Structure 1
Amino acid sequence: MEEHDTIDVTIVLPVYNAEEWLDECLQSISLQPKCFRGTIQLSVFNDSSTDTSAEILESWKPKLEDAGISVVIGSHHSKSPLGVGFAKNKAVGQSHGRFLCFQDADDVMEEERIELQYGEAKIHSSSIIGCRFRRSPADSTKRYTKWCNNLTQKQLIMQVYTSHGPTVIMPTWFCSREVFNKVGGFNEEGKGVPEDLIFFLEHLKQGGSVYRVDRCLLMYRYHPQAATHSVHCDTIWKIRMSAIQERVLSQWGSLTIWNAGKQGRKFYRSLTEKNKKKVIAFCDVDIKKIRKGVYNYEESQETPKPQIPILHFSDAKPPFIICVKLDLTGGGFESNLSSMNLKEGIDYYHFG
């Protein structure tokens, strides 16, 4: 029997200058066998750390092995790290588990994480399995945490085009090796590239699904050094625009953009020329915008310039692309949307 047939779960741990958090992270990993009775491997890839991360990893190896977790540590040394995508791919490549549990070195998993996600991954074999999480510090990213933890199962699939990124956060991912191999690994372009979002959207494009264990199984740390802060919002915008045009707008003959303000106009200007022609109106609640009557697309090379009507939302026709951020209007927007009796994923998609 080959080695990869004997290991149930590999914990994938990319590391770069994580000395401040590694002990707590590895301690949480060491407790997994208390709940999970299968076989566990920890696969670490140290991507050019210049702090004491390597020493901490070596000091924990015998402790983890005593707890019943096999450990493989790979490393790369250069003047600068090659990035999270590279490190995760290397960690997966040197591993042998039938299932992969992704963990960031600055986060902490609960004792029952592997046990609960493993059970769901066997049932939902073509899915990325996530879970709920808590933030540390507790008051950081409140809107984002609320949104992510309270999505319904259907919204995990439908709200993938919002500015928040994947509907299940990368440090909670758990999936079969087959799911990972089908996508082909993470983008390795390095700093500034959202490798998790690219992987997630490609997974969905290929027919994969998403599932969430509705238990808090991870402490997700917020700090200035986190890799996510290096990704520019314009990069994420372009990826989102490409995905929604390919997967949604290609199926629609017309659409209304909900928001005649800055974000709605940016969405319109970012469309392909073919999709711009599908826009029949903007809609809004702002009386000044509605009284203006039209949006003049001055940047157009056409003569005459396109003029898009601006309507009150109650007079507009679906399907809608909603470019309004959630949970910012004291429930006003959400109430207006609910009054329309529309179906998410059919009559509208969120892009805010």
Structure 2
Amino acid sequence: MNPPKRLRTTEDEAETPTGGQEEEDRAVDVSIVMPMYNASCWLDECLQAILNQDYTGTVELSVFDDASTDDSRTVVEGWRQRLEARGISVVISGHTSAQPRGVGYAKNKAVSQSCGQYLCFQDADDVMFPQRVALQYEASVLHPNSLIGCKVQRVPEGSTERYARWINMISQDQLLTQVYTSHGPTVVMPTWFCSRNWYLKVGPFNEGGKGVPEDLIFFYQSLRQGGGVVRVDQCLLVYRYHEKATTHSVTEETIWKLRVDFLQERVLSQWESFTIWNAGKQGRKLYRSLNPTNQKKVKAFCDVDENKIQKGFYTYEDSKQRPKPKVPVLHYKDASAPFIICVKLDMTGGVLEENLNSLQLKEGTDYYHFN
């Protein structure tokens, strides 16, 4: 690696690095982008893992502290000498306002003060495996207009078991077809790696602060720009679950609206009619969330519950139309594609999957999962 350069540390907000010869001298292959807020208890493990990377190109660590009230800044400064001795240049900045400004803001600041051609996003509470930067860098060079993810090890073991299984087990094709499920991005944000040029084309991250799913907003915008989604099929990150994680501040309704809007934009706008698979609570909620044009495209609900089927119709009581819309409820074998599946994945003991397979349907053409 190139000899380390000691870079400035500023107590004020990080600004875009100055241009000219100085910026050219700082150019590196990969910037590890790390927003930070009260992460002191995890930082030693996180930074040791960065030190242990087996990537042989040039690396920079760019940290932006979002008004931590613990000793996070001191801990990171304590690692500067070891990181620079390994050839990893370090940029640390932040702000000391009374309140944090949110993870989207901190990510943008950490990116703007960095100079790598490629960006490796790292949460301060997670831990990289030694091969992460090298393998994701290789994938990103091959797919420069894509978000690159990887498989993860979820800790504590057993936490969010279904979610962790979904992260690691969906196929490459499903990385694109399952973008409307409730889980969020099909490659999870703590595993993202991309070219700087792609970040600049898609971004920046939404800076709305607490409660804003800046990762899902960016992910959808990347897809709108024609971006790809790629997963390195090795476990390259320890993905930590804890009660203080920022994801817990995002409400289900916020995510729901984003997903419905994206589904209408990308799928339903292309279909003349469709069936909602689930005549229960989730299926009816989807129907009510659709715009009037797409509500009219719903030709039926389908289900396996005989009680729902025997009722014959779902009546949209809150509709302002007169007469109120009445949508038929059918057995799934009597319904026709395309379908929006509003049944939770991995929750029926394989029954849903067997039923879908029995109809010989193709995901991404004949149906999409929404739940």
Both structures adopt the same fold (TM-score exceeding 0.5): yes
Alignment size in residue pairs: 350
Shift, 1:148, TM fit: 1.2
Greater than 4 Å deviation, 4+ residue runs: none
Partner of 2:50: 29
Partner of 1:209: 228
Deviations 1:256-299 (A, max 9, x none): 00000000000000000010000000000000000010001111
Partner of 2:120: 101
Shift, 1:85, TM fit: 0.2
Shift, 1:74, TM fit: 1.1
Q: Distance in 2 between matches of 1:4 and 1:208?
A: 30
Q: Which amino acid aligns with 1:137?
A: P
Q: Distance in 1 between matches of 2:163 and 2:28?
A: 35
Contact 1:106 1:221 in 2 (8 A): yes
Q: Distance in 1 between matches of 2:137 and 2:197?
A: 14
Contact 1:41 1:69 in 2 (8 A): yes
Gapped regions of structure 2 (runs ≥ 5):
1-20
- Tell me if 1:174 matches 2:189: no
Pairing partner for 1:246 from 248, 265, 268? 265
Alignment of 1:1-352 (within 5 A): 2-3=23-24, 6-32=27-53, 35-352=54-371
Q: Distance in 1 between matches of 2:249 and 2:317?
A: 33
Q: Distance in 2 between matches of 1:148 and 1:95?
A: 29
Contact 1:4 1:97 in 2 (8 A): no
Q: Distance in 1 between matches of 2:179 and 2:26?
A: 34
Q: Distance in 1 between matches of 2:243 and 2:26?
A: 40
Q: TM-score, normalised by structure 2?
A: 0.93
Gapped regions of structure 1 (runs ≥ 5):
none
Q: Secondary structure at the match of 1:21?
A: helix
Q: Distance in 2 between matches of 1:189 and 1:7?
A: 30
Q: TM-score, normalised by structure 1?
A: 0.98
Q: Distance in 2 between matches of 1:76 and 1:314?
A: 59
Shift, 1:303, TM fit: 1.0
Contact 1:4 1:98 in 2 (8 A): no
Shift, 1:184, TM fit: 2.2
Shift, 1:3, TM fit: 2.7
Q: Secondary structure at the match of 2:89?
A: strand
Q: 1:227 to 1:23 in 2, by over 3 A?
A: same
Q: Distance in 2 between matches of 1:168 and 1:252?
A: 27
Q: Distance in 1 between matches of 2:194 and 2:280?
A: 40
Q: Distance in 2 between matches of 1:121 and 1:4?
A: 23
Contact 1:4 1:96 in 2 (8 A): no
Q: Distance in 2 between matches of 1:5 and 1:345?
A: 44
Deviations 1:235-270 (A, max 9, x none): 000000110001110101101000000000000000
Q: Secondary structure at the match of 1:115?
A: helix
Shift, 1:4, TM fit: 7.2
Partner of 2:4: none
Q: Which amino acid aligns with 1:112?
A: Q
Contact 1:47 1:87 in 2 (8 A): yes
| % same residue | 63
Q: Which amino acid aligns with 1:336?
A: N
Shift, 1:5, TM fit: 7.5
Q: Distance in 1 between matches of 2:97 and 2:148?
A: 34
Q: Distance in 2 between matches of 1:287 and 1:293?
A: 10
Shift, 1:125, TM fit: 1.2
Contact 1:289 1:310 in 2 (8 A): yes
Q: Distance in 2 between matches of 1:163 and 1:107?
A: 23
Q: CA RMSD in A?
A: 0.9
Partner of 2:16: none
